[in-house]
Amino acid sequence: MNETELLELLSHARVATLATIRADGRVDLVPITFAFDDQVVVTAIDHKKKSTTELKRLDNIGQFPEVTLLADHYNDQDWTHLWWVRIRGRAKVHQAGNEYERALDLLSDRYTQYAETRPKGAVIVIDRTELTGWKA
């Protein structure tokens, strides 16, 4: 599949799984909302209830910026509709500035909840280094 086809599939996904690497080498996985353009994928620490805004994924990215994002679609009734898209990249955490505002704009354009209540927490900006996927 080419990049255009993979990004089209990705546009249909409402959530993805973000993988980060812990200091001890273990992998952490977390479901995220996300938005993207031709160069980056973004996510934010939003207003949904959390025990803290000092999340492990932010620490992990600070130590090991290499991350993987996986979005997929499964249809138990019709396996001809199965697909997945994987993005590998280098992530940075932003608390303010142009990259921060751009990420929030992308997210607000994609999710009405963010247009109504803009996230106030950190954003993660992932510069894509690899885009792969599969479709039935």
Share of the chain above pLDDT 70, in %: 94
| Residues 33, 53: Cα–Cα separation, whole Å | 16
Topology of the domain comprising 3-135: Pnp Oxidase; Chain A (2.30.110)
Q: How confident is the model at residue 109 (pLDDT cuts 50, 70, 90)?
A: very high
For residue range 45-102, what is the model confidence (pLDDT) as tens digits? 876 555 554 578 999 999 999 999 999 999 999 999 999 999 999 999 999 999 999 9
Instruction: Reply yes or no on whether the pLDDT at 18 is more than 80.
Output: yes
What is the H or E stretch that residue 102 is in? Answer: helix 98-110
